[in-house]
Amino acid sequence: MVSGHAYMYVAACVNVSLFYTISFLCLYRVAGQLAFREFLRTEYSEENILFWLACEEYKTITTSNEIAIAAKRIYAEFVHVDAPRQINIDCGTRQEITNSMSQPTLSCFDKAQRLIYKLMKKDCYPRFLKSEIYQGLLEPSEAR
């Protein structure tokens, strides 16, 4: 469960208006990620935010040895056809990533990350805004 402080933070940063696209940027903040991740867990699609976050961290790696190790971990966890947290991407993108695993670069997951971001933004996030988790952020509570 996400703490009350995280919910209050998200409520402050999320634009309650109909312009949910702008509020999607709040997911770059840790508290926003926690609330959204909690929602995705209830939707059985938590792998999307986990993959996106793994890619963000991956882009900060500076040595080629670490790049190779991290790329193989991300591939095994999210991209491989038998991955435990397999993301929903097209077979062409999956094959491009598979082909790049012999010499992975910092950009080898970029296309898949963009696809997952668009999926979350257009599909998951609008449902999040209608969810009990999000609605709970909007309702004042004596418990906080």
Q: At residue 11, what is the residue type? A: A
Q: Which pTM does this prediction carry? A: 0.75
User: Is the separation of the CB atoms in 78 and 50 below 8 Å?
Assistant: yes
Start-to-end Cα distance in the chain: 15
What's the rounded Cα separation, in Å, for the pair 4 and 1?
9
Own/partner pairs, 16-21, CB within 8 angstroms, 24+ separation? 16/138, 20/125, 20/126, 20/129, 21/121
Selection from 108, 112, 78, 110 nearest residue 93 by Cα: 112
- 98 band by pLDDT with thresholds 50, 70 and 90: very high
Range of weakest confidence among 7-11, 71-75, 81-85, 106-110: 7-11
Whether the pLDDT of residue 23 is over 60: the answer is no
Map out the domains of the chain with their CATH numbers.
4-43+124-138 (no CATH), 47-119 (1.10.167.10)
pLDDT (mean) for 27-36:
66
Provide the mean pLDDT of the chain: 80
Whether the pLDDT of residue 7 is over 60: the answer is no
pLDDT in tens, 44-96: 899 998 999 899 999 999 999 999 999 999 999 999 999 999 999 999 999 99
